[in-house]
């Protein structure tokens, strides 16, 4: 897991082939005006989802993990208190991994909480279980999905 601010995005381009394209999208000057929806950046290898969602309480949420994609989550407005725990330490799966949705949920308690505000981003790799959308208000964010391998 990486936590940083968008002005340092250039430091991470070498970590994955799709990161340069992902951060180019996140640096668009019109990003905050984009309508909610899915945006293709490089086919299914790199795509973005813009959302405006009401936050939920910690007690009502589950940790989630992905195997096929890396998430870059950028907060545009609001505060997202994202929980994090290494997937290897998660002991309470609520079901099996779903390949179609690239999701597995866990009822474990996060080890760490990240109070992410506008301009902050987090990168969650397949080994990172995370609990997003924890807030008492509205969260406007972009999640860019980058294939963890050459072909998801």
Residue pLDDT, tens place only, 93-144: 999 999 999 999 999 999 999 999 999 999 999 999 999 999 999 999 999 9
Single pTM value for the model: 0.95
User: For residues 126 and 103, what is the distance between their CA atoms, to the nearest angstrom?
Assistant: 10
Number of neighbours of residue 4 by Cβ within 10 angstroms = 14
The count of residues in the chain is 152
Q: Which CATH architecture has domain 2-147?
A: Sandwich (2.60)
Domain boundaries, the chain: 2-147
* pLDDT tens-digit readout, 65-98: 999 999 999 999 999 999 999 999 999 999 999 9
| pLDDT for residue 152 | 44
């Amino acid at each position: 897991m990486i936590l940083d601010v968008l002005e340092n995005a250039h430091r991470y381009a070498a970590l994955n082939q799709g990161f340069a394209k992902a951060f180019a999208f996140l640096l668009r000057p019109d990003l905050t005006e984009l309508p909610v929806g899915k945006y293709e950046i490089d086919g299914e290898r790199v795509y973005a989802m813009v959302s405006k969602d009401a936050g939920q309480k910690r007690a009502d949420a589950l940790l989630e993990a992905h195997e096929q994609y890396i998430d870059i989550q950028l907060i545009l407005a609001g505060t997202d208190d994202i929980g994090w725990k290494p997937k290897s330490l998660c002991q309470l799966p609520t079901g099996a991994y779903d390949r179609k949705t690239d999701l597995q949920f866990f009822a474990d308690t996060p080890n760490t909480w990240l109070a992410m505000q506008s301009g902050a981003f987090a990168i969650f790799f397949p080994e990172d279980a995370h609990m997003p959308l924890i807030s008492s208000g509205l969260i406007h964010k972009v999640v860019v999905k980058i294939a963890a391998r050459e072909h998801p």
